[in-house]
Amino acid sequence: MSEHYINSIVKSLDDEFLLEFGMTRGALKEYFEKVQNPDGWKLPIESVCEVSEAECVRGAIIFFTGSQPYFKYVGENKCYVKADGYYATMGE
């Protein structure tokens, strides 16, 4: 398979609208990348996000890791977010 073909498949997946989350897979990916563990996306999450993005971040964490995030308001329109991550929730 060519790299172009693989990239076109990934692009079509990112454009897929996921009704239960109210956005595309690509949008979920963008929100997830803002909070994912920099050492690996399957690892536990401890990060900060904008309050206005908390629900989208919640959906992204659930979609990509299966874990339930915990949010705590920390001031200045920011939330601390913590989640067990993929390995802890789904296994290896």
One pLDDT digit (tens) per residue for the chain, 92 residues? 677 666 666 667 778 888 788 899 999 999 999 999 999 999 999 999 999 999 999 999 999 999 999 999 999 999 999 999 999 999 88
Q: Angle, to 10 degrees, between the axis of helix 25-35 and the axis of helix 54-65?
A: 100
Condensed to tens digits (0 to 9), the pLDDT of residues 51-71 reads: 999 999 999 999 999 999 999
| Domain total in the chain | 1
Query: pTM value?
Result: 0.85
| Cα 18 to the center of its chain, rounded Å | 14
What is the distance between the alpha carbons of residues 67 and 31, in angstroms, rounded to a whole number?
Answer: 15
Q: Which residues form the domain of 37?
A: 3-90
